[in-house]
Structure 1
């Protein structure tokens, strides 16, 4: 074969490899039980204020979720479900971990029938260790809020702005046995009761994520600062550099209370911020991971 023919062969080989490589890259799928949240901008924080019906017009909720910011995030993956007891048990059984089981597990083992409940009584350090073991990390506060909004714009709740979802709504419906304020207007998340429910008991939000509101509140990676939204960067914010408390997001199973507008409490919104001592282990706080 002449030099010219050899060059043509090499060129054709390279072109074939490129043609094969492009579709493979395009077909990359999310890791198991994770969902890709697309890159782009979203409004983070509360762009409005709900007031009481008193003459004083007292705002409902804290003021730390204002002003709203138009935040630009890179694409990321987030767990479809909250980390379960069964998931966490695998971590505890792995070699090299010194993390102890949650204190409420009898003899350090999962109570029968509760394998699919979200793990709780896990502090921020233990949640971080689990995510690292799984090859992941805790989501930033901005990532968590974008994921919780489910692709909706400036919505107050994970399901939109309605305080209740009626039985004709095709979105989320409370399963049998879940706490309901009104049988005809079921609360579309686990916001009351005596314990969490198995993950995925309710239909997902617009991104296909379960229990972003309700069930258990969730640790995020960020330090908490009440004034952070005033000066936060508008692209891929990572939270304050230091602090005393870590962020917690999403309402939990104990957070339902009728407020003055007759719906779920302000703790159950996608924009409400919360925080806790990173050493705290609580029956109301769990987590999910991101990547």
Structure 2
């Protein structure tokens, strides 16, 4: 359910241990990567992604590798930020927002750069 090495949040092993006060950001390689070799897709910051949001898209999307709608007004958010509940980082959570990068600096939002490749990792 989570983008960790085993699909779970194991506090202190693949996700920050809960403690008193606010959670703070942590170094990218603080925990093991997921099976794709990607670090911290659960927690640390909410990622604003390039996908357009459409509340009905998954009702009509292909089952394998849905690419998302071609256009829209809102962008998809993934993961949870350091000040948010860790359960928001579940892969089943669907959130959206205007484009925060263009509007203003929003603490806790980040983005990732990725390329499509046919080469194995």
Q: Same fold (TM over 0.5)?
A: yes
**Aligned equivalent of 1:165, options 10, 19, 24:** 10
Q: Does 1:201 align with 2:30?
A: yes
Q: Per-residue CA shift, 1:176-210, capped at 9, x if unaligned?
A: xxx5259xxxxxxxxx52x4223222221222211
Cα distance in 1 for partners of 2:14, 2:61 equals 33
Over 3 Å counting, the alpha-carbon distance change for 1:284 and 1:227 in structure 2 is same
Could you tell me how far 1:245 is from its partner in structure 2?
Answer: 0.5
SS in 2 for 1:200: helix
Contact 1:216 1:250 in 2 (8 A): yes
Could you tell me how far 1:249 is from its partner in structure 2?
Answer: 0.7
Structure 1, unmatched stretches of 5+, are 1-155, 183-191, 257-263
Cα distance in 1 for partners of 2:10, 2:59 equals 33
Structure 2, unmatched stretches of 5+, are 116-121
Q: Does 1:277 align with 2:98?
A: yes
Cα distance in 2 for partners of 1:157, 1:236 equals 18
Cα distance in 1 for partners of 2:110, 2:11 equals 29
TM-score normalised by length of structure 2: 0.73
**Aligned equivalent of 1:180, options 7, 13, 18:** 18
Q: Per-residue CA shift, 1:200-223, capped at 9, x if unaligned?
A: 222212222111111111122111
**Aligned equivalent of 1:244, options 64, 68, 73:** 73
Aligned pairs (5 A) from 1:64-103: none
SS in 1 for 2:58: helix
Higher fraction of helix: 1
Cα distance in 1 for partners of 2:7, 2:69 equals 29
Could you tell me how far 1:268 is from its partner in structure 2?
Answer: 1.6
Contact 2:45 2:81 in 1 (8 A): yes
Cα distance in 1 for partners of 2:7, 2:113 equals 26
Over 3 Å counting, the alpha-carbon distance change for 1:277 and 1:208 in structure 2 is same
Contact 2:77 2:95 in 1 (8 A): yes
Aligned to 2:43: 214
Cα distance in 2 for partners of 1:254, 1:204 equals 22
Q: Which has the larger radius of gyration?
A: 1
Contact 1:216 1:251 in 2 (8 A): yes
